[in-house]
Structure 1
Amino acid sequence: MIHYRKILELHDEGISLRGIAASTGHSRQKITEVISLAEKKGLDCPLEEEMTDKWIEEFLFPEKSLEASGRKPLNFDYIHEELAKPNVTLSLLHHEYEAECRASQKIPYSYRSFLRHYSRYADKYKATLRIRRKPGEIMEVDWAGSTSFIIDRDTGEKVKAYIFVATLPCSQFSYAEASLSMDSQSWINAHNSAYKYFGGSTQIVVPDNLKTSVTKHTTRELILNPTYREMAEYYNTVVMPARVRTPKDKASVEGSVGVISTWIIAALRNTHCFSIDELNEEVWKKLDEFNRRPFTRKKGSRLSAFEEEEKFALSPLPIAHFKMSEWKKTKVRPDYHLSIESMFYSVPYEYINREVEVKLSDNLVEIFFNHMRVASHKRLYGKFGQSSTLRDHMPDNHKLYVDQTPETAIEWAESIGASTLSVIRYLLDTSQNEKQALQSIFSLKKSERNYTKYEIERACKMVVSMTKRPTVKSIQTILKNNKKSDAEQELKRQTDISKNNYGFTRGASYYGGTDK
């Protein structure tokens, strides 16, 4: 039997490897292996009485106790490390172990023995048992049933404070935060703080069926609160609410709530705080003590278990924390705008009288119809009644009116002809103000609905030839008259053609004579 205890005690006293080898009779290579393995596994002097050579051997070389059975030894460190990976189970690892045994012609352990030996190893040497919970897989969240309080400075009244609790089931590492409300804002802020405290996000979040997280939860349908769903997407996690009246679905946080109620809420019963920030400072002090408290049945604490066994598996956080958005439902007005907090935002005119969903954040207003975004605006602040209108949202006739500027008026006139350009320049130069000139030009531009560019140019040319002071009214009159005159001429022409094509003329030859 190797003198493990003596080797470690002599090394702690500063004896050289040569001296330890002479004293114990073991090779310096073996002594080096024992010392380095003990340092790796955190076995330091002074050693307790129960740490005999056999105990130390089982701690440093657990596989040796299994070799005596004649079966292929188990690599517990490999098993424990592989179980941390997604979708890896003990049944899969046992199947692979059996395949190795067949290849090397050795006897394997049965699945039950495989499970028992790993459980015994993890309970004794590891902070976490990875059979049921994967590191970084789940975060369970809830409000504690018990409440704390702060004192109003003015009245001396005790004001209730609610305690949010988040727990990582694998390591039992927990976070707690006090809030004056259990509304959606407080719920989201507490999640942001929990993720920051843990330094990463988990694959799954398991909340209770609170209105701040779940809108509807039945056996057939699950509808999450829109803001909570957004937060989950932002942190790249999935929300899986506990089943109704099924506390075992989040047993870890239920247990932590009870313990935190004792070690934090009850411990602060005689502490008087006058603001929520002061209360949280005290809560976090107690929380740090709680996470550092040693486990009763195994070595380590929640903090050490988290840092050694789970922190590596958390997903990295975004650069900035999630900013909460507010969701509202409203109806689009006949002027293709909707009113949000006395500010007006446009949507495409096709959605007039339709009900839409509005997502409000600090800087942005987004409008959705049937879960599809149809418009977005920078959020307006300040004086009530401001509006944000996008040109693309307007009907064509509104676009025509909004686009009225001297530049666009001249550009339009150039596309018609020289006489039209002369009239437009005259109107812009001689009107009392620009707005009045643009209104006149706009009414002329509307003539394009009923008249061609050629007809407009001809009317302008006629007006310019008759007077040096053309008006839009005179142009419109000429357009109507020209249209009427053209119609009469066309009718006369058609009548003449009809007579020539269908009249009967009987010459002399018809009567037996000779046509001349």
Structure 2
Amino acid sequence: MRKVREVLRLKFECGRTHAEIAASTVIGETTVGDYLKRARACGLTWEEARPLSDAEVEARLFRYGGRNEPPSRVPIDFAWVHRELSKPAVTLQTLWVEYRDGAMGQAPLRAYEYSRFCALYARWKKKLSVVMRQVHRAGEKVFIDYSGRKPHIVDPQTGEIHEVELFVAVLGASNYTYAEATRTQKLADFVGSTIRAFEYFGGVPEVVVPDQLRSAVSGPDRYEPDINPTYLEMAQHYGVTVIPARPRKPRDKAKVEGGVLIAQRWILAALRNRTFFSLGELNAAIGELLERLNTRPFQKLEGCRRSAFQTLDKPALRPLPAHRYRIAKWKKARANIDYCVDYDHRLYSVPYALMGEEVEIRATATTIEVLHRNERVASHARSYGPKGTAIICDEHRPRQHRDYGKWPPERVVAWAESIGIQVGEFARRVMEQRTHPETGYRTCLGVIRLADKYGRARVNAACARALSIGSPTCKSVTAILKNGLDRAPQVEPATRAPIAHEHIRGARYFDTEDESDLGRNDSEVGRDEAVRDGRRRCARCSRRHRRNHCPLTK
């Protein structure tokens, strides 16, 4: 940086020689003489230069460009370059050619060459991504992520290699690290790893910062992500707040990004030549290396992760709850017309008033809870019976469903008698005729319900008429009421005298046995009947038939 003002001050205010000024400002005597020569050429005195800034003094002394001053260049519209690069098949070389062609008509200005064009754009682009240094308070945040590089275990029976996941959690203030291997990144494994990280730390921080993986965030969003209900319930159990990092913004969780990198170098790299046949063996080895990592001294700071944790984070962490969180799965469902919801192909009842309403199911290994508008409306012991098993509580049924099938026949008859004596007799007759009383319940209930539409008196009269005609059915009573026959007087059927006529044979004619036939065998009786009818045995067909009626002559 030029020291023009200091040279002028030492010369004109202090009266120092060129050698003394050069020694004081650590520049050459030739440069001191050049500065003073330029000041005399432009008529700048110290009194004029005193109130000016360094930039203004330099502008006065060096405004006349020399032969080494670079020529003027056509300015670059870096915003245009950045915007065009986002389009398909557009490169920096293509944009430089367009910039150079546009600068041809702006003489005497010249265009930048391609290398300088790229360098200036790269310098401008760095200013777009300004990095904010985050200051983490003790016990405030824990950052969670999975490693892109995965360990593996070997199936001892088949020799097949299975990749597993490496879970990493890092506390913000002390960089204290926890790591373990899990089979998947699914909800059960993710929640379990988070709980074990809290237990490893021996306390609970204020905020959990995970990535926006599906196990933590059911609806990813940059501004308002939807937390997975199970993970949110776990956070509420431990009293922590879940603030997911923004999508594709790894700097939001830079602590764990660095922790993952360190875990890959100091844990996975150390295990690269070892073979593990179970997840337990792998986690035991990871635990040993994790202790070495947390006790390894810092390079630029005093102490290690363990000592920093003991000093900073551990006193600020909140205590763990008395009971460990039991993982539960959540599912949205709609109550069917049978006031039941389906979970894992088993049915569980809810109050019948919620039929058709949308509810939430919270399922644990032992319990099924149903919530409506965040209020629990039903709770059942989880069923592991055959698929289609229904668990129904009587208090969830409507009254008519609770009573159906449990009434004795006497209760149905008593209810019918409260409508009318003939209705009670009708119900009694129905119960006596049915093989099982329950088959007559619907008939009796249907007749009793007719009283709401036609009145008790008419139903009682209709039942009396149905009994008189010998048709104690609900259809008969309904037809009588619809046609108004219950109001018509009953006509007793008239008794008829037997009719005597010579063409009426009577019942005796059709008797199969005659008193004269008693004591004789069937062949004798049949022969006499054939003789009476004029039938003889035919010589052609050997059958008995009337004369000239042989089937062979037809």
Task: Please indicate, yes or no, whether the TM-score normalized by the shorter chain is above 0.5.
Answer: yes
Q: Distance in 1 between matches of 2:282 and 2:392?
A: 46
Task: Report the counterpart of residue 269 of structure 2 in structure 1.
Answer: 266
Contact 1:405 1:438 survives alignment (8 Å): no
Q: Distance in 2 between matches of 1:147 and 1:426?
A: 79
Q: Distance in 1 between matches of 2:210 and 2:257?
A: 11
Contact 2:458 2:481 survives alignment (8 Å): no
Matched, 1:134 2:137: yes
Superposed CA offset, 1:268-291 (max 9, x none): 222221001111111112112222
Superposed CA offset, 1:156-180 (max 9, x none): 2332121101111122222111012
Give the 5 Å matches for 1:142-221: 142-221=145-224
Contact 2:204 2:319 survives alignment (8 Å): yes
Relative distance call for 1:455 and 1:375 in structure 2 (3 A) is farther
Task: Report the counterpart of residue 248 of structure 1 in structure 2.
Answer: 251
Relative distance call for 1:446 and 1:295 in structure 2 (3 A) is same
Q: Distance in 2 between matches of 1:246 and 1:420?
A: 80
Contact 1:167 1:252 survives alignment (8 Å): yes
Deviates more, 1:296-305 or 1:416-425: 416-425
Relative distance call for 1:475 and 1:245 in structure 2 (3 A) is closer
Deviation at 1:137, TM superposition (A): 1.6
- How much identity, in percent, do the aligned residues show? 34
Relative distance call for 1:303 and 1:417 in structure 2 (3 A) is farther
Match of 1:295 among 295, 298, 301: 298
Contact 2:416 2:444 survives alignment (8 Å): no
SS in 2 for 1:167: strand
Give the number of the structure whose residues are more often helix, by fraction.
Answer: 1
Structure 2 spans left out of the alignment, 5+ residues:
1-133, 490-554
Contact 1:135 1:310 survives alignment (8 Å): yes
Relative distance call for 1:407 and 1:190 in structure 2 (3 A) is farther
Give the 5 Å matches for 1:219-368: 219-329=222-332, 333-347=336-350, 357-367=360-370
Contact 1:404 1:442 survives alignment (8 Å): no
SS in 2 for 1:317: coil
Give the 5 Å matches for 1:367-516: 367=370, 376-390=379-393, 398=401, 401=404, 404=407, 409=412, 412=415, 432-452=435-455, 476=477, 480=481, 485=486
Give the 5 Å matches for 1:4-83: none
SS in 1 for 2:269: helix
Q: Distance in 1 between matches of 2:246 and 2:215?
A: 16
Contact 2:466 2:473 survives alignment (8 Å): no
Relative distance call for 1:273 and 1:359 in structure 2 (3 A) is same
TM-score by length of 2: 0.54
Deviation at 1:387, TM superposition (A): 1.4
Q: Distance in 2 between matches of 1:359 and 1:349?
A: 19
Q: Distance in 1 between matches of 2:471 and 2:192?
A: 68
SS in 2 for 1:147: coil
Equivalent pairs, count: 356
Superposed CA offset, 1:27-69 (max 9, x none): xxxxxxxxxxxxxxxxxxxxxxxxxxxxxxxxxxxxxxxxxxx
Counterpart residue identity of residue 386, structure 1: T
SS in 2 for 1:208: coil
SS in 1 for 2:145: strand
**RMSD (Å), alpha carbons:** 4.1
Deviation at 1:155, TM superposition (A): 2.9
Task: Report the counterpart of residue 24 of structure 1 in structure 2.
Answer: none
Relative distance call for 1:388 and 1:487 in structure 2 (3 A) is farther
Q: Distance in 1 between matches of 2:281 and 2:354?
A: 50
Deviation at 1:292, TM superposition (A): 2.6
Q: Distance in 1 between matches of 2:175 and 2:417?
A: 78
Counterpart residue identity of residue 380, structure 1: S
Q: Distance in 1 between matches of 2:144 and 2:361?
A: 28
SS in 1 for 2:247: coil
SS in 1 for 2:164: strand
Relative distance call for 1:289 and 1:429 in structure 2 (3 A) is farther
Q: Distance in 2 between matches of 1:447 and 1:371?
A: 43
Q: Distance in 2 between matches of 1:228 and 1:291?
A: 28
Deviates more, 1:338-347 or 1:241-250: 338-347
Deviates more, 1:407-416 or 1:362-371: 407-416
TM-score by length of 1: 0.57
Larger Rg: 2
Deviation at 1:381, TM superposition (A): 1.4
SS in 2 for 1:164: strand
Counterpart residue identity of residue 480, structure 1: L
SS in 1 for 2:148: strand
Counterpart residue identity of residue 481, structure 2: K
Relative distance call for 1:176 and 1:410 in structure 2 (3 A) is farther
Superposed CA offset, 1:399-436 (max 9, x none): 56466455864774686578877876787688543423
Contact 2:267 2:290 survives alignment (8 Å): yes
Counterpart residue identity of residue 158, structure 1: I
Relative distance call for 1:167 and 1:429 in structure 2 (3 A) is farther
Task: Report the counterpart of residue 24 of structure 2 in structure 1.
Answer: none
Deviation at 1:259, TM superposition (A): 1.4
Counterpart residue identity of residue 226, structure 1: P
Counterpart residue identity of residue 191, structure 1: T
Q: Distance in 2 between matches of 1:407 and 1:364?
A: 41
SS in 1 for 2:136: coil
Relative distance call for 1:204 and 1:429 in structure 2 (3 A) is farther
Contact 2:444 2:474 survives alignment (8 Å): no
Relative distance call for 1:261 and 1:465 in structure 2 (3 A) is closer
Q: Distance in 1 between matches of 2:207 and 2:233?
A: 14
Q: Distance in 2 between matches of 1:363 and 1:456?
A: 53
Q: Distance in 1 between matches of 2:289 and 2:488?
A: 95
Counterpart residue identity of residue 302, structure 1: R
Structure 1 spans left out of the alignment, 5+ residues:
1-130, 489-516
Deviation at 1:375, TM superposition (A): 5.1
Deviation at 1:322, TM superposition (A): 2.4
